[in-house]
């Protein structure tokens, strides 16, 4: 019953947002609450939702001030020289732009933090997409595909969870996955090329894309907010912020909060200008924060009711015992839906140990199953349970439902490519 309720919850959520019957925030809050009440969990709802929101609170704070900080930097013109350099390099060629998007995302993703990658890449490239009249869904698609592959880095999250859960080191889990990641990235660049060619044909046939959102991170250009004389100071401040982030000196949310306040004071000493900046970007920051806290309620109810664990165990239980010898392949295949419908913590700390315990009876080493469980990460970032996904779509000013429909087939393609390459190379 819990499994049925879990899949029903996610199914209703996906249908509502993909058909644009509700906003993601509304669906994230109301759908799980309604299902939990019907299932008899009403008296415990308050506690479940509180725990879910507490778990995600610092992430929400970080994203609010990260958006405000980088939006301010775009207003000052910090990224204008970078955009002009890239524009000179790619010309008016969408193919070069999409390939450049894949390259920049791959490089920035080396820090292992998806949220900062989204903010930096979208801040740098969305103005370029606007100048060329390209569809921002292409931008979000390529960023997410490259980010999904790079998410396997040991400091990215999933791999660290696997190593912790199975008590194994990076040489046993991550190092053998490097060739698979390389092949996955080749696929991402191939997809970027295809999307670039499509955009080039569309622009030549139908003209430039113009339906950009005024609530994206680039916003509307306001010459009065430009601060060309402060570019060096803003660049130094941003580099210091990135160093603090990489070295993990203080919590990231606090770092962005302090950096935003300093940047506001340096660039806009007048109070009315500071208020103008906050008012201009408050809508975007609030939109992201609302969805982040909504996702906290969603996952809080999934965890508190036991639905999430029930879903994972039920999927595993449908595998016939006679297929036990293929547990490595089954684990890799099922990692795609499991990491999509479950959080990484639920999957790697709750489900993977059960799989490896089964594998020990079948003489299948845990490191093989651990690597197999990472194959699904290529599609994981599209999950509605991943908070940073809402950040990406809000930064680019696109609907979550449109992004999901546009990107899903390419993300599944990434998972298939990684699965086949892992099998052929004997990684799993």
**Tokens in use for 28?**
């994230």
Give the 3-state secondary structure of residue 319.
coil
pLDDT computed for residue 142 by the predictor: 95
Q: Which class for 210: exposed (0-12), middle (13-18), buried (19 or more C-beta within 10 A)?
A: exposed
pLDDT digits (tens, 9 = 90+) for 194-205: 999 999 999 988
Q: Please give the backbone phi and psi of residue 351, each rounded to the nearest 5 degrees, phi first.
A: -95, -45
pLDDT computed for residue 192 by the predictor: 95
DSSP-derived secondary structure for 78-122:
TTHHHHHHHHHHHTT-HHHHHHHHHHHHHHHGGG--HHHHHHHHH
pLDDT digits (tens, 9 = 90+) for 169-223: 878 888 888 899 999 999 999 999 999 999 999 998 888 888 887 777 766 667 7
pLDDT computed for residue 182 by the predictor: 93
pLDDT computed for residue 325 by the predictor: 67
pLDDT computed for residue 411 by the predictor: 92
* pTM of the predicted model as reported, rounded to 2 decimal places: 0.77
The answer to whether the beta carbons of residues 115 and 62 sit under 8 Å apart is: yes
pLDDT computed for residue 157 by the predictor: 73
**Tokens in use for 239?**
């580099």
Per-residue DSSP letter, 220: S
Give the 3-state secondary structure of residue 359.
helix
Scan for tokens 């390389």, then name that residue.
182
Predicted confidence pLDDT, tens digits, the chain (428 residues): 787 888 788 788 878 877 778 887 888 889 889 988 888 888 888 888 998 888 888 878 887 888 888 888 888 888 778 777 777 777 778 999 999 899 888 887 876 667 778 888 888 888 889 888 899 999 999 999 999 898 888 776 788 788 877 878 878 888 888 899 999 999 999 999 999 999 999 998 888 888 887 777 766 667 788 888 888 999 999 889 888 876 778 887 888 899 999 999 999 998 888 888 888 888 778 877 887 888 888 888 888 888 777 776 776 676 666 665 688 888 888 888 888 877 777 788 777 877 887 777 777 888 888 888 888 888 888 888 787 888 888 888 888 889 988 999 999 999 899 989 988 988 87
pLDDT computed for residue 303 by the predictor: 81
In whole angstroms, what is the distance from residue 102 CA to residue 363 CA? 40
Task: Identify the sign of the CA torsion 4, 6, 10, 15.
Answer: positive
Scan for tokens 């696109």, then name that residue.
398
Per-residue DSSP letter, 347: I
pLDDT computed for residue 199 by the predictor: 93
In whole angstroms, what is the distance from residue 250 CA to residue 2 CA? 40
User: What's the number of CA atoms in the CB half-sphere (13 Å) around residue 31?
Assistant: 27
pLDDT computed for residue 72 by the predictor: 87
pLDDT digits (tens, 9 = 90+) for 274-284: 888 888 888 77
Residues 6+ apart with CB under 8 A from 221: none
């Amino acid at each position: 019953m819990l499994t049925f309720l879990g899949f029903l919850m996610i199914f209703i959520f996906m249908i509502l947002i993909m058909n644009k019957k509700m906003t993601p925030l509304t669906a994230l809050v109301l759908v799980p609450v309604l299902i939990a009440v019907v299932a008899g969990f009403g008296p415990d709802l308050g506690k479940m939702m509180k725990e879910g929101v507490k778990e995600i609170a610092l992430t929400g704070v970080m994203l609010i001030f990260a958006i405000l900080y980088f939006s301010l930097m775009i207003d000052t013109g910090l990224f204008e020289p970078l955009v002009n350099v890239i524009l000179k390099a790619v010309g008016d060629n969408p193919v070069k732009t999409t390939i450049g998007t894949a390259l920049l995302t791959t490089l920035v993703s080396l820090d292992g933090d998806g949220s900062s990658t989204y903010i930096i890449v979208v801040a740098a490239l969305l103005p370029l997409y606007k100048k060329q009249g390209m569809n921002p869904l292409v931008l979000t698609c390529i960023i997410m595909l490259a980010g999904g592959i790079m998410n396997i880095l040991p400091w990215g999250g999933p791999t660290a969870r696997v190593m912790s859960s199975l008590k194994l080191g990076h040489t046993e889990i991550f190092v053998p996955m490097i060739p698979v990641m390389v092949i996955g990235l080749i696929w991402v660049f191939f997809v970027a090329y295809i999307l670039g060619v499509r955009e080039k044909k569309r622009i030549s046939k139908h003209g430039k894309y113009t339906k950009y959102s005024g609530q994206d991170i680039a916003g509307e250009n306001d010459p009065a907010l430009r601060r060309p004389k402060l570019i060096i100071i803003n660049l130094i401040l941003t580099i210091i912020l990135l160093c603090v982030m990489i070295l993990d000196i203080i919590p990231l949310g606090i770092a962005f909060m302090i950096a935003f306040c300093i940047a506001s004071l340096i660039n806009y000493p007048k109070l009315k200008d500071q208020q103008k900046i906050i008012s201009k970007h408050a809508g975007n920051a609030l939109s992201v924060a609302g969805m982040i806290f909504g996702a906290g309620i969603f996952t809080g109810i999934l965890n508190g009711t036991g639905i999430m664990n029930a879903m994972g165990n039920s999927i595993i239980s449908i595998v016939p015992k006679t297929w036990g010898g293929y547990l490595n392949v089954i684990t890799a295949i099922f990692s795609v839906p499991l990491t999509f419908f479950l959080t990484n913590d639920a999957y790697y700390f709750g489900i993977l140990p059960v799989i490896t315990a089964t594998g020990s009876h079948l003489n299948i080493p845990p490191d093989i199953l651990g690597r197999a469980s990472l194959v699904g990460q290529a599609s994981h970032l599209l999950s509605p349970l991943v908070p940073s996904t809402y950040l990406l779509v809000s930064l680019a000013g696109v609907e979550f439902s449109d992004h999901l429909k546009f990107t899903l087939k390419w993300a599944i393609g990434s998972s298939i490519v990684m699965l086949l390459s892992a099998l052929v190379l004997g990684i799993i």
